Amino acid sequence: MKNFLLALFFKLTYNNELRKISLKVFKYFPKLKPLLMHLRDNGLPQKKPAQKITLDASFLQEIKQELQGDKTFNTNTQKANIVLADTHSQSKKVKLSKIFKNIDFLFTNEKNQKIFLVIDLNPSKEALQSYLSQKNILITYKNSSPYCEHFDYLQYGSDNEIIQIISLYYNNPTLYKAKLKKIKQSQIPSQILKEKTLVLQKNSKKLQFVFISIYFENLQATIQTIDKYCDFVKEYIIVTSPKNIDIFQNLKTKHSFTIIDETSILDKEIKNFASKDHQSKNFLLRASLANLEILEEEFIMLDDDNQMLKPISKEKFISKEGKYKAYYFHDLLKYHHNITPYDKGQQNTKEILLAKNYKQLLSYSSHCPQIINKSIYKEAIQEFYEISLVKALDEWSIYFNYALTHYPHLFIKQVFQTLNWPASPYQFTLPFTQDEISFENYYKELYETKFFTPSNTYEEKLAIKKRLQEPFTLSKELFNKNKQKLIDSNMIHGVFSFINKEISFYLLSIPYYIVLKKDCTLSLILPYKLQSHLSKAPDISLVIFQDKNYKTLRKIPTKENTPLEENTLEFPISSKNLQEGIYDISFNILYNKSYIYKNTSPHKIKLIVSKD
């Protein structure tokens, strides 16, 4: 039965024709979706005898010999120069010179020679600007600057990564040219962003709470939590579709509320509004709020599922000194997903902010209430509105990155305090640690499946989420503990190649092995490159197998007429239902419903499940 369900989820989730049907299936069978997701990410129980593992030097050497094998690379290159940054040692230069006979490895480019490649594992901002002006390719280790967007990101900086990425470019002239074109297009913008002057407001005692909602039940439940836990509500302003206006009049609250027909504020954009995706609709509706005369200079903006979990004072949003608190949940440079309309909004926002030379690049769509200054909000909307008609943008991140760039003296950045964002740690890895939880991102499914119950206290909800998060926390700690060992022993795969006549797909920087405790999960960060020789967007998915059995699939987002696409995936590797022992994890590419490697893929790593 579980095998059938797993196959069903595969079909419903990743077949475009069946996706609409899947939404209806999950609507009438809400418990089915989380079960199928669990099967997808954890696989079926594996009947394999437990095997005691000792991670000593001889054991790791056996793994290295098995996985490295007779791997050779075409190092017979044309004459060229590669710049090694000063962070590299002389021994590294000597080693690479022996491998690549026709390459001159330089520590500096004093003679202004033609450079094929720049390798710098820890570039400064000044170095990045210099490389960009020369239109070279840069391989960088720490992706800490917005200028790194179109450069290669080596996660470990191991010898294998450097050697194999050099070979990849030398052996693929079309890839090199496509990459160079991207670098040339990523010139540092000439726009100069200046700080502006705005006097701190004399804050009113109470604030308007502004919703955009089409779900009565969600809105009613959220308003009940605000009524219970907030003592600074002046009134509720609710923007909704015409068909909901009558039912929304039945809201129960101790405060006054005003309901606004969304069509009355959308103006000229009403014609195209219905055809927009969810992210674009949100941006247009929130942009229209700036023109509401009843809206005061400071207000709280939130979604109808942003519930309060405990008593909240106004200082949660405005400090005693009058500064606005901006809650961020992610770094846009490290947000790797690009599948849903929400994901695309994050990616588009990053792209536009980079193009406009913004250095503030955090994501503020933290699924919690946020304080908004109307004057600054109008300025931000004015700058990005025309772009939003073409590309879906994240309204929260546009506003706060604009505000923190031009009015940094008015804001305090704070890590978000939202429970259930994401709903499951399988969705994406959070780069920041929460010190406090004040809000809940309400998911009906979590209550329908009894993950939470309405009677759970604040403390019980935190304990439940902590137990869910614990396997991920342990996995991350264990991986970081072994990371330096992987680098020192050069046990990193530089490039996995998947090639046919129509596409070339490359996975980069994959460790030879991963150590997990039982019933734990690690999100593996996988940078990739896709060369397509087609005008249409190719249908590609990355699939992993555990001991030759299907385990997990992730669809790769692709575009039309794009010779080179580069991005990063977060891919879960799980030890759920596994005994202590060693397992083969292999990678394959599913292209147009056929695997690149028809039999067993040669690209594999080891999953080591250990009690210690």
Indicate if 223 and 181 belong to the same structural domain: no
Integer Cα distance of 576 and 187 in angstroms: 46
Asked if residue 201 is part of any domain, the answer here is no
The whole-model pTM stands at 0.86
Q: Is 143 helix (H, G, I), strand (E, B) or coil?
A: coil
**pLDDT at residue 341 in the model:** 86
For the domain that residue 449 is a member of, what is the CATH number? 3.90.550.10
* CA angle centred on 401, ends 399 and 403, rounded to 5°: 65
Could you give phi then psi for residue 409, rounded to 5 degrees? -70, -10
Integer Cα distance of 572 and 521 in angstroms: 6
Indicate if 265 and 344 belong to the same structural domain: yes
Q: Which residues pair with 591 in a beta bridge?
A: 540, 594
The torsion defined by the Cα of 416, 421, 426 and 427, in degrees rounded to 10, comes to: -100
Q: What total number of domains does the chain contain?
A: 3
Query: What residue type is assigned to position 482 of the chain?
Result: N
Integer Cα distance of 211 and 207 in angstroms: 13
Q: Are 176 and 135 in contact (CB under 8 A)?
A: no
Indicate if 515 and 570 belong to the same structural domain: yes
Indicate if 123 and 215 belong to the same structural domain: no
From 401, 431, 455, give the residue that closes a domain: 455
The series of mean pLDDT values per 10 residues for the chain, 612 residues long, is 55 53 69 66 58 77 82 69 84 88 82 82 76 76 62 86 90 88 70 76 84 95 98 96 95 97 81 78 90 93 97 96 96 85 92 89 96 96 93 96 95 97 85 94 90 94 92 89 90 94 94 91 90 90 89 86 87 87 94 91 93 72
Asked if residue 161 is part of any domain, the answer here is yes
Indicate if 110 and 155 belong to the same structural domain: yes
Indicate if 325 and 437 belong to the same structural domain: yes
Indicate if 494 and 439 belong to the same structural domain: no
Could you give phi then psi for residue 259, rounded to 5 degrees? -105, 130
Q: Is 577 helix (H, G, I), strand (E, B) or coil?
A: coil
Q: Are 570 and 429 in contact (CB under 8 A)?
A: yes
Indicate if 51 and 104 belong to the same structural domain: no
Indicate if 242 and 159 belong to the same structural domain: no
Q: Is 493 helix (H, G, I), strand (E, B) or coil?
A: strand
From 411, 438, 455, give the residue that closes a domain: 455
Indicate if 350 and 301 belong to the same structural domain: yes
- The residue written with tokens 């009015």 in the block is 407
Indicate if 114 and 51 belong to the same structural domain: no
* CA angle centred on 511, ends 505 and 514, rounded to 5°: 125
**pLDDT at residue 333 in the model:** 86
The answer to whether the Cα torsion of 475, 480, 486, 491 is positive or negative is positive
For the domain that residue 97 is a member of, what is the CATH number? 3.40.50.2300
Asked if residue 385 is part of any domain, the answer here is yes
**SS3 of 413-474:** EEECCEECCCCCCCCCCCCCCCCCCCEEECCHHHHHCCCCCCCCCHHHHHHHHHHHHHHHHH
**pLDDT at residue 200 in the model:** 66
Q: Which residue segment(s) compose the domain that 63 sits in?
A: 43-68+487-610
Q: Are 527 and 505 in contact (CB under 8 A)?
A: no
Closest CA to 314 of 226, 407, 220, 421: 226
Indicate if 386 and 522 belong to the same structural domain: no
Burial readout 246-282 (b: 16 or more C-beta within 10 A, e: otherwise): eebeebeeebebebbebeebbeebeeeeeebeebbbb
Q: Are 287 and 381 in contact (CB under 8 A)?
A: yes
Could you give phi then psi for residue 334, rounded to 5 degrees? -110, 5
Instruction: Write the burial class of residue 78 (CB in 10 Å: 0-12 exposed, 13-18 middle, 19+ buried).
Output: exposed
